[in-house]
Structure 1
């Protein structure tokens, strides 16, 4: 038979101990898992969708602006660089200088092309050589009347290096370069009286020294090499077999990396002609290269400034939204504090909401910025360029803005006492 309750309490009291039912357990604050904290932070976004959408729109416009103001100038810069590169910013020209040898004809060693190809930054090399031959339209023309034209032995990759195009017909290949065929520059074709070649018609003939050559192509004007416009181009092997060409080039064209164009310019004379580098005259890099590098530096400074302004505007918008959210939800804050939520949980809720809001806005801004940049570049017929650093920094910047913008509202919300929050709601 159990003793009455008062007997049990008396027994514990006489022993100097507390009754088990009278003990008060020690309560510890509940720690929220990251998943619970995320779900709690998204409550404000789910319950106030319109306000959240407008807030995310503010940060998305800022991020989209950052991508657009970096992507569109980058696309424009790439198009401008392509135009400046077409002016010869990555090309050099080496000519055998007759004035250094007292007016005597000079030429480069036959292995000069292979020697230049060994220079690291050089991407392509080609050579032409003056054969000192005479070209005439017919055998009835005076042998001394050369019409101011030059007969050059040319290699098959000449057009690629000097950025030239064929106006009609075709250029010399490895096969046609072995036979008596020629390609005329635009000025040479006009002086010899040849219009554009018609497909199917027999090729016209020109007389070089005492050999007839077939005209198989006519070039467009070549701004990077005006001498080619007044030249009659003969295949390298055909010039050797038919005109007695000694296979020693008199002029080299090369394409190199723009960043190392000055270094290539410095070592080129000694590379082409180690015994007499003074007889090699190398053209200076194009003045357009300086303009190109100047535009690159200007665009880089513009990118940084515009990106900073865009992020600042977006951050102010998010901070303003979160402060208003705290003022609107004081009753919710007071109720949660009264139910046992501590200050750390309140801070975590509002900070998570700010980061999630900025992150969603950043993702939307990246999509809008990419679409805007691509569309405008297509409209302007520019190559679309989406800077990867702008995309990654845009998303990282959105999250960082959410953290910075949410710190003050989160601290302010956590400092609200339950009674004050419920009384002012």
Structure 2
């Protein structure tokens, strides 16, 4: 692959890519779906001007799926939509966005438990014909009602009203759902593997340097926490105990350990990618581990991480924010591409790494945020490392084999179509099983 573009275009591209990284690489405390629910509830409380007497939650299936089994951070071990919303309404600070629960104290936790003891305090319902990421919180007190809608992105407040009087935003469910779908189909056009590699090798990354350094610092810290203490299913600790001297196993363990801690309510912030802390961890930790082995430091390490993040964003952009397609696969594609780049691989080998990864684990399903996410991260990173090894040996999957197409970009788009369209019915059935609507005969 090669590309010749003038200096003006290069400068514009570098600015755009840095802007994408700064938009994506933001801090979050805990799993982003319960945090987004807490954020909406905190805004509702602020709009209402008092503690709610009743909460009504309407959420898309993907939000329900991703909040059901994960521990709400800073909650003292609480789970579920009701806990996330109530804690956000009682003790959340909406100014902190995805770190809304950072300042929650014992009094807020006690008050949350007291309110949740009344099963009538919070009602939850499934919202249909809405975007995959959709949260609506109605908070009521003293005959007043605050109405908040978040859609498409975790902090994207599209509607804020008090007593049916609009304060900000505009909302029409069918039109907004269609707009989100159109965005998912076209979003990938702003990135290409060719442009990402050019940016990593020669681009001006100063504009994103602080965000990349923060990603390394925070995500490394939560990974070490996951290895040092018994969080979740201890996937990372189990991996590291079996083969501590193997770089591939260390890369899998470091990534999995961060998820072990995060999914179990660890109150340490992470830097997210594609709206996901697990994906932000997966793009980062394998790169750090291989960089240490390869002696990659300083500016080259930052460029490798930028490459990893941007490849993940590119692959995920065709799928959309939430789906039945496990986003760890997209993040692992980025990590594998960066490992190949740090190892001196050619552009063709970097592309082959991505194709090999997608051709292997492109069908991992997302059945919600929970402790097994760490294992899925491990499996995805393992596939990326295999894809890297194959590519460095001149081996790859070929066009016509499954969904692999003639070019890397066509392959990414095809896998995105599977995740966005093909797996949509799968998403519905996964949710039906999780909420008990479907009983599977044995």
Taking structure 2 as the reference length, what is the TM-score of the superposition? 0.21
Taking structure 1 as the reference length, what is the TM-score of the superposition? 0.22
Bigger RCO of structures 1 and 2 (CA < 8 A, at least 6 apart): 1
Which of 1 and 2 has greater Rg? 1
